[in-house]
């Protein structure tokens, strides 16, 4: 039994609601950076080994991560302008 808490994974005290959940932009930033680094290394290794198809596919993933990072940063700046001085954790 959950008591007075609504069902769902929303932690108590979070600013989001069931209809408008809070965003995990910082976590998304870390995951995009991880993907960028890993796939950049895989692209380089595949190119060095002469596996062109794999290098191109990994390069596409790297470009996608770069675009995702740009979108995330744009949204983080907009969030900061809307709520200046607020500290956002990795999961918020």
Q: How far apart are CA 88 and CA 82, in angstroms?
A: 13
pTM of the model: 0.70
Please say if the pLDDT value at position 44 is more than 60.
Answer: yes
Domain-located, residue 32: yes
Q: Is residue 74 part of a domain?
A: no
Continuous segment of H or E residues that includes residue 18: none
Q: Answer whether residue 37 is part of any domain.
A: yes
- Look at residue 6 and tell me if it is in a domain: no
Domain with 56, as residue range(s), is 23-61
- Kindly state whether residue 42 falls inside one of the protein's structural domains: yes
Q: Rounded distance, CA 69 to CA 72, Å?
A: 5
pLDDT in tens, 54-88: 999 999 999 999 999 999 989 888 887 887 777 77
Does residue 68 belong to any structural domain of this protein?
Answer: no
Instruction: Work out how many domains the chain is built from and give that number.
Output: 1
Please state the rounded mean pLDDT for residues 32-49. 97
The whole-angstrom separation of Cα 21 and Cα 9 is: 10
Q: Name the token pair of 87.
A: 């500290």
80 belongs to a structural domain: no
Cα angle value 40/43/54 (rounded, 5°): 145
Instruction: Please name the residue that has the structure tokens 């680094």.
Output: 37
Q: Please report where in the chains the tokens 């969030």 appear, as a residue.
A: 79
């Amino acid at each position: 039994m959950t008591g007075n808490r609504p069902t769902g994974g929303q932690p108590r005290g979070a600013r989001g609601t069931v209809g408008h959940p809070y965003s995990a932009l910082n976590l998304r930033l870390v995951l995009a950076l991880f993907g960028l680094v890993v796939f950049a290394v895989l692209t380089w290794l595949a190119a060095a080994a002469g596996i062109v198809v794999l290098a191109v596919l990994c390069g596409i993933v790297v470009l996608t991560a770069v675009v995702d990072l740009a979108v995330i940063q744009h949204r983080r700046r907009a969030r900061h302008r809307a709520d200046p001085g607020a500290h956002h954790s990795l999961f918020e």
